Amino acid sequence: MPYQMQSPPLHMNKRTLLFSFLAIVLAGCKPSAEKAAETATAPTAVKSGKPQVLVANYPLQYFAQRIAGDAVDVRFLAPKDEDPAFWQPDEAAITAFQNADLILMNGADYSKWADKVTLPESKVVDTSASFSKTYIEVRDASTHSHGPGGAHSHNGIAFTTWIDFKQASMQAQAVGDALAGLVPAAKDSITKNTEALKDELEAFDDRMSALSRRLVQHPLVASHPVYHYLARRYGMNVKSVLWEPDTVLDEKALNDLNEILAGHRARWMIWEGEPSKDSVDKLARLGLQSVVFDPCGNVPESGDFMTVMKANVEAMEKAFP
């Protein structure tokens, strides 16, 4: 007789069905349970982590990192190929600012986007507030565009505050004070690091101030209207055009320059970055030499804020011995 599979007892079928049902239910619930566990532990992870410091530009990132060291996490969100002063943060970036423990702003109307969003006032520090009464107002600036940020104008308050090294030192002090309040346990090291940074910035101020007697004798042309505070602090007579360092000068640019030179007999052009060789050669034929003074509003391709500023000061000392 062929073998016939016998049906299991009824109580065995019920038991099997019960275990199968439970297995399905548990399998379906597992991801949700894991997700709930992650959600429950997330606030604890945030509280046990370092304070989050969001900054408006690279100079403030450098200042905060130099001063606080590992005591905080410093975040600068603007892309490398944009001017942070005209950057438009997306929703995720705005949320990051709103959730930060401390927000370091440059002041001087630097972050245009900040007027259109709500930031927690108790966490916002305007690092240039101490000299706000001496802001420079810019009028009749042309509208132009460079990079992905779109067209913009430099009308309003001049915002490249830190290239006046005395003002930079005051901004560093504001950063140090804010960080000491945020991380009181690290106050001693923060105070020490703040003073060290200020000493370096004020040493640059001394060197540039020593050049002022020579600088005042030389009319200058700048490639971009960002040198207002530099010019005021160190006695520079500057007129600006709107050129990008990597753009070769065309006939129109040279005609515009000649109109300026007719009443402003400059012999030096100050560039934000290293200009193209063709541009340097064309300027040389007009009797202008080129010198780079990089404001360093965004992360430099090499080095850091202090090495860039050191190179700037050395270039000026070489140009005006």
CA 159, distance to chain mean position in Å, is 12
Sheet with 124-126, strands from edge to edge, namely 73-75, 52-55, 102-105, 124-126
**Domain edges within the chain:** 52-131+148-196, 211-319
Q: Could you tell me if 80 and 203 are in contact, meaning their C-beta atoms sit under 8 angstroms apart?
A: no
Same-fold call for 52-131+148-196 versus 211-319? yes
> Tens place of pLDDT for every residue, the chain, 321 residues?
443 444 444 444 444 443 444 343 334 443 333 333 333 333 333 443 899 999 999 999 999 999 999 999 999 999 999 999 999 999 999 999 999 999 999 999 999 999 999 999 999 999 999 999 999 999 764 443 444 544 444 568 999 999 999 999 999 999 999 999 999 999 999 999 999 999 999 999 999 999 999 999 899 999 999 999 999 999 999 999 999 998 889 999 999 999 999 999 999 999 999 999 999 999 999 999 999 999 999 999 999 999 999 999 999 999 999
- CATH number of 211-319: 3.40.50.1980, 3.40.50.720, 3.40.50.2300, 3.30.200.20? 3.40.50.1980
Pairing assessment for the beta strands 156-157 and 137-138 based on DSSP bridges = antiparallel
Residues belonging to the chain: 321
Residues 6+ apart with CB under 8 A from 45: none
Quote the CA–CA distance of 295 and 182 in Å, as a whole number: 28
Q: Does domain 52-131+148-196 have CATH number 3.40.50.1980?
A: yes
pLDDT at 87: 96
Quote the CA–CA distance of 152 and 134 in Å, as a whole number: 24
* Residue 31, CA distances (Å) to 42, 133, 224 in order: 16, 58, 56
